[in-house]
Structure 1
């Protein structure tokens, strides 16, 4: 399963990347909107783990580009803010599947990736 992680914090992104790789996933880590969109221009991950608050760029622009280019890709948003905690992210982003805190255990994140990845595979 191909996974793209878009996370500004290199240490957190690497933690998630290593954990997902231990589960046999093909994982790419990008830190900015531009780098993520560049990757998405030439690749088609099944799952995108995307921090809502990027230090460089806009997460919603990444999600929108992904939805346009590969509508079957599933987006798992992570955030350390209460913004969109009312669930409105699902009204704004058609391919959003979850919004979890950045402190979510890597094992739980891996379980979500596996779950939503199966949805893409069966579609």
Structure 2
């Protein structure tokens, strides 16, 4: 399985990547919209872990591009805000499969990713 993690916080991205690697999942980090789009353009991913609030760029633009380039890839949105806490993210992004808090324990995030990437 291959997973793209799009997270502005470098340290958090590395923590999540290490937990995914422990499950034999190949994970790549991107920290900006431009890096994420380049990764999606150049590779195939089974799932994308995408921070809803990127420091540089738009998570919606990344998810939309992924929907076009990798229609089978599932997007797991993470956030540290209450924005979209009503579940409406699923109305806006057809490839969204989960919406979780950034503070979710890394091992739980890895299990969620493993589940959706295998689907």
Structure-1-length-normalised TM-score:
0.95
Distance 1:11 1:110 in 2: 16
For 2:65, the equivalent position in structure 1 comes to 65
Instruction: Report the CA distance between 1:106 and its aligned residue.
Output: 0.8
For 2:3, the equivalent position in structure 1 comes to 3
What are the equivalent positions in structure 2 for 1:1-123 lying under 5 Å apart? 1-119=1-119
Q: How many residues align?
A: 119
Instruction: Report the CA distance between 1:14 and its aligned residue.
Output: 0.5
Instruction: Report the CA distance between 1:22 and its aligned residue.
Output: 1.1
CA deviation map 1:14-73 (0-9, x unaligned): 000011111111000000000000111110100100000000000000000000111100
Distance 1:3 1:86 in 2: 26
Unaligned runs of 5+ in 1: none
Q: Runs (4+) of structure 1 moved beyond 2 Å?
A: none
Tell me the C-alpha RMSD between the 2 structures: 0.6
